[in-house]
Structure 1
């Protein structure tokens, strides 16, 4: 005690108060300047914090000071003290608490300090930095251990030389950490690899930094919730690899950064993620993010000029992704390889440039549309190359599966048909190896595209099988009518030459020539010979596996081929046209029969039963 010489009036008040276990009230408000009446030396405070001596005993309640100007450094490195309670004080030099052990609390409401340097500090109780607290050169508590909570409210922090306003990496807190209304941080906050047993609550707080991040929780383990409700963050908010047992909430938060404003790569959230009414300027990253519950973007406003606005590649959301009622459509979202329990969305919230390749999801839920037209527009909103030159079929098949398993079978079929159209439009039908010669490639491609087109026309790629019966009915009636007209003109004749040349049927010949006979209306033809029925004849030709004996008994008369041979190619009289019609109907009949058999055996059901 003698080393301090003559004590100042303020120091005498402190000495008297610590003997009685009371607060030394030097002033009620934080001083604006040093005076003889408020100055207390830092060494003197240190002396008392360490227990004083016989001439300056310290009560077990420790040192409590209010309204003092503490001059000089307070260094308590490796020291063990009771509590630090400075209310509305000014410390004009560093408060050094590195490797110290505080048996009580660190209580600094309304106090101004250039810097708190307390790496590896052990504080049994809580830390209070509130009610106008101000740190102009940063707070360094890296790898500290706090037995209670960290309570920060109505406080100001500015960065030190390393651009860190709060350096709390690796800190362990047994209860909660809070940044509440009035907190203003200019500089980066590092809570990377910290362990917080309770909740981190940032509400109506402001963080601004020109550092590589504004607030980092990379690798942090949080036993409760992580909340940034109504807070403003200018700079990157990093949650890379963080483990959050409770919810993540950014409701009504405002995030702004030139690049990534929110990074959540490989983070794990044990509850829900609420980004309700959040406003962001910058991209959102979440590659490999895991959310056990729901993730909601309802009401969010996301603005980004980057190539990817939301990068959720490989994300896993256990329940629902709620992506509806956004303030603006969001373009360039990457959901590639993501796994989502359900999607609750509206189509208008999705902008263009979406990546859906590899996305798997269980169903559409809530207000989400299951209309094929809406979901097809959703798929067409993918990146241009994914619906063009580098076509991705997986999102279409996944949508088919989800709609079908949800009971929307017809919508699933419409998606399947649109997939086939898209494959044709981008040139996937008839694709060949580059090693093939050009003529061979052209022939293969042409044949494949024609066959694919016929498959659409006849059976809707296998998803409209009833269409085949309509075609068969139309072909049967149309060709039956044509055969009737040709029969009236004498084109058809008995196939049996004994009947055709029989003189008993001269009454059927026209102008005495059997070549021009009207056998269809010949009354002299005996009853035992089957009469020509144009509709039955058409059906007999159409159905190759059915024998109505019309083709056996009747046929079209064809004149002798013309010479030279190429004249025959352009001869278009009734006889030759009727023969051509029979050939075409026979070919159609075989094609239709094979398609029908293929459908009935399941060969054309395609992805409708694929899992």
Structure 2
């Protein structure tokens, strides 16, 4: 392009480029710069000896289509607060450093983009899609305070279109060499981050991901080098974190997750060191944490919705520290019904902190829940074990029952001694020993064989014998179960 073909704003940009100077057209009467002028600079950059060329432009209105499809741009590019007439096309292009902060554009098509340094897209307003699928960014990626899509697009269930993209943010299978920082990001529609690899941290604090009735965040198999922070996140629609890997914190503190009638949070098969749900508003919608592995899970009981899936969820520490009775109700909400593993995992968490009493409470609740799945005879036997010895986790109950029956028998037979079978051979009658002889099936004091009660006292003897056998059997069964688990 000849320099005599340029307008005054374009001439300023052309002349500043070889020295890397900045041209600010924010307050200019004429802010128009043709896209083909910028393209010529980027792909056939004029140079001056001893200078480092760079395109630094602020406040321009770029007309036409800026198309650098598969181009190699060797200089840094900074376009700030610019307005683009058409979608910016950077498909397959390679840049050293790229900044498009504060820009307004219909869309950004940058699939398989390569950036040797940092890519900045802060403070942008893009009603269409930002397509960065398969991008390779050696430095950090910034999307803070950017707004993608439109509210109308978030309510549209149709397929992608330039006017209403279903996925305004397409970052799937991209690689980011440092951090992904997107604080206060707003996305109307689906944010796609599946298969993304971020060497540093991901920060989505104060972000708004709005796709009611659909998927707000699709981040399956996202791999993070350190932490994933999404404090005060507002998500309307499903948050899908299945299979994510976070060696540090997955922090959703103070977040609001809502997807009525569907799954609000899915983090199944994920691997997380610390999963924080501190001060999170009660989740609206189901939660699926099946097969997830977490070292520390911070979640108060009131966070969980009425439908959860915890089968094979494993964790070492559960916070905040609460009595077992406050956490047991959550396990009854599992959509899979009775899940033994969930009770065993909660038991292990209490044993890990040395709270054996709470662990026994959880085990007792597990047996009671299991009882509801048994046939009638099994439920009756379970009720008997529960009332007598608490399935072995309350062994002192058996001692109480035995003491009560022993006292009853001693008083009854002390007031009305039974007749001796052989008066000349019978030992002296002892009401306490006689009642103990009836209750304990193993011990023999010689009283039971020497005396024969009559009438109602004979039926009392039968009751004491049967009760003794039942108590002894349930006590041994329950204690054996508890000892085996320990």
**What's the TM-score once normalised by structure 2's chain length?**
0.87
- Aligned to 1:414, the other structure's residue is in SS state helix
| 1:469 maps to 2:417 | no
Distance 1:170 1:595 in 2: 68
**8 Å CA contact retained: 1:30, 1:68:** no
Deviation per CA, 1:475-505, whole angstroms, max 9, x where unpaired? Answer: 1111121222332xxxx22222x63xxxxxx
| 1:551 maps to 2:448 | yes
What's the CA shift for 1:276?
0.7
Report the equivalent of 1:532.
Answer: 429
Report the equivalent of 1:374.
Answer: 326
Q: Which has the larger radius of gyration?
A: 1
Report the equivalent of 1:433.
Answer: none
Distance 1:8 1:126 in 2: 22
Distance 1:16 1:331 in 2: 56
1:81 corresponds, among 42, 45, 56, to: 45
| 1:126 maps to 2:67 | no
What's the CA shift for 1:24?
12
- Cα gap change, 1:146 to 1:603, in 2 (>3 Å): same
**8 Å CA contact retained: 1:207, 1:215:** yes
Distance 2:332 2:130 in 1: 42
- Cα gap change, 1:186 to 1:29, in 2 (>3 Å): same
**8 Å CA contact retained: 2:83, 2:103:** yes
**8 Å CA contact retained: 2:93, 2:114:** yes
What's the CA shift for 1:413?
1.3
What's the CA shift for 1:175?
1.5
Map residues 2-41 of structure 1 onto 2, 5 A cutoff: 29-32=27-30
What's the CA shift for 1:194?
1.0
What's the CA shift for 1:310?
0.9
1:313 corresponds, among 261, 268, 279, to: 268
Report the equivalent of 1:196.
Answer: 137
Deviation per CA, 1:167-214, whole angstroms, max 9, x where unpaired? Answer: 111112121111223x21121001111111111122222212520211
- Cα gap change, 1:535 to 1:70, in 2 (>3 Å): closer
1:338 corresponds, among 287, 292, 304, to: 292
**8 Å CA contact retained: 2:22, 2:56:** no
| 1:587 maps to 2:466 | yes
Report the equivalent of 2:160.
Answer: none
Map residues 488-503 of structure 1 onto 2, 5 A cutoff: 492-496=418-422, 499=424
What's the CA shift for 1:407?
1.2
Report the equivalent of 1:260.
Answer: 215
Structure 2, unaligned runs of 5 or more: 151-163
Q: Which has the higher contact order (CA 8 A, sep 6+)?
A: 2
What's the CA shift for 1:381?
3.6
- Cα gap change, 1:464 to 1:83, in 2 (>3 Å): farther
Deviates more, 1:326-335 or 1:193-202: 326-335
Deviation per CA, 1:225-261, whole angstroms, max 9, x where unpaired? Answer: 1111122221211110101111111111122113111
**What's the TM-score once normalised by structure 1's chain length?**
0.70
Report the equivalent of 2:438.
Answer: 541
- Cα gap change, 1:194 to 1:586, in 2 (>3 Å): same
Map residues 276-315 of structure 1 onto 2, 5 A cutoff: 276-315=231-270
**8 Å CA contact retained: 2:293, 2:313:** yes
Distance 1:494 1:26 in 2: 118
- Aligned to 1:452, the other structure's residue is in SS state helix
What's the CA shift for 1:76?
4.7
**8 Å CA contact retained: 1:282, 1:306:** no
Report the equivalent of 2:481.
Answer: 604
Report the equivalent of 2:125.
Answer: 184
Structure 1, unaligned runs of 5 or more: 33-66, 85-102, 159-164, 431-444, 500-527, 557-574
Report the equivalent of 1:326.
Answer: 280
What's the CA shift for 1:106?
3.7
Matched residue count: 468
**8 Å CA contact retained: 2:110, 2:133:** yes
- Cα gap change, 1:401 to 1:9, in 2 (>3 Å): closer
Report the equivalent of 2:155.
Answer: none
Distance 2:3 2:232 in 1: 62
**8 Å CA contact retained: 1:229, 1:252:** yes
Deviation per CA, 1:562-585, whole angstroms, max 9, x where unpaired? Answer: xxxxxxxxxxxxx23222222221
- Cα gap change, 1:16 to 1:196, in 2 (>3 Å): closer
**8 Å CA contact retained: 1:112, 1:135:** yes
Deviation per CA, 1:267-316, whole angstroms, max 9, x where unpaired? Answer: 11111111111222222111111111111111112222341011112121
- Cα gap change, 1:472 to 1:281, in 2 (>3 Å): same
Map residues 245-256 of structure 1 onto 2, 5 A cutoff: 245-256=199-210
